[in-house]
Amino acid sequence: MLKLFNSFSSKKEDLEPFERSLVKIFICGPTLYDYTHLGHARIFLTYDLLCRFLRDNNYATDVLVNMTDINQNVFNKAKEKGDDYSVIARFYSSQFMLDLNLLNIKSISRLAHVSDYVSSMEKEISKLLEQKIAYSANGNIYLDVSTLKDYGALSKQSKEQLNLHRLDVGPNKKNQEDIMLWNCSEDFGFSWNSQFGKGIPWWHIQDTAVAIENFDRNYDIHGGARELSYPHHEAHLAQYRLITGSDNPIKIWMHVGLVLSNGEKMSKSLGNVVWARDLVHRYGQNLLRLYIFSSHYRNDIDFTESDLLTKKPLLEKLYKARSKVSDRSDQELVILVENFFNSFNDDLNSPEALEILDKICTNVIGGSNLSVDNFLRVCRVLGIES
Positions in the binding site for Zn ion (CB under 5 A): 28, 207
The backbone torsions φ and ψ at residue 385, rounded to the nearest 5 degrees and listed phi first, read -85, 120
**Distance, CA of 337 to chain centre:** 28
> 200 vs 314, which CB is nearer to Zn ion?
200
> 34 vs 207, which CB is nearer to Zn ion?
207
Name 12's bridge partners: 5
Q: Which residue is nearest to Zn ion (CB)?
A: 28
- Min CB(206)–Zn ion separation in Å: 7
94-to-32, 99, 111, 195, 200 alpha-carbon distances in Å: 10, 9, 11, 32, 24
> 225 vs 382, which CB is nearer to Zn ion?
225
> 28 vs 45, which CB is nearer to Zn ion?
28
Helices marked H in 216-327 = 234-244, 276-283, 285-293, 305-309, 312-322
> 24 vs 289, which CB is nearer to Zn ion?
24
> 207 vs 234, which CB is nearer to Zn ion?
207
> 157 vs 208, which CB is nearer to Zn ion?
208
What's the CA gap between 212 and 197, in Å, rounded? 23
> 28 vs 301, which CB is nearer to Zn ion?
28
- Min CB(232)–Zn ion separation in Å: 6
Judging by DSSP bridges, how do beta strands 301-303 and 11-14 pair with one another?
unpaired
| For residue 171, cis peptide bond before it (omega within 30 degrees of 0) | no
DSSP 123: H
Name which of 200, 203, 253, 245 is nearest 225 in CA terms.
253
- Min CB(247)–Zn ion separation in Å: 21
DSSP 71: S
Q: In what order do the strands lie in the sheet with 134-137?
A: 134-137, 140-143, 179-183, 200-201
- Min CB(207)–Zn ion separation in Å: 4
- Min CB(278)–Zn ion separation in Å: 26
What's the CA gap between 252 and 260, in Å, rounded? 25
> 28 vs 205, which CB is nearer to Zn ion?
28
What's the CA gap between 96 and 93, in Å, rounded? 5
Name which of 84, 15, 76 is nearest 50 in CA terms.
15
- Min CB(151)–Zn ion separation in Å: 18
Taking residue 314's Cβ as centre, other Cβ atoms within 10 Å add up to 18
- Min CB(61)–Zn ion separation in Å: 19
- Min CB(28)–Zn ion separation in Å: 3
- Min CB(224)–Zn ion separation in Å: 6
Q: Are 231 and 204 in contact (CB under 8 A)?
A: yes
> 207 vs 220, which CB is nearer to Zn ion?
207
- Min CB(124)–Zn ion separation in Å: 15
Q: Are 3 and 45 in contact (CB under 8 A)?
A: no
Burial of 138 (0-12, 13-18, 19+ CB in 10 A): exposed
Torsional sign, CA 37, 231, 233, 85: negative
Q: Which residue spans within 191-237 are E strands per DSSP?
A: 200-201, 219-225
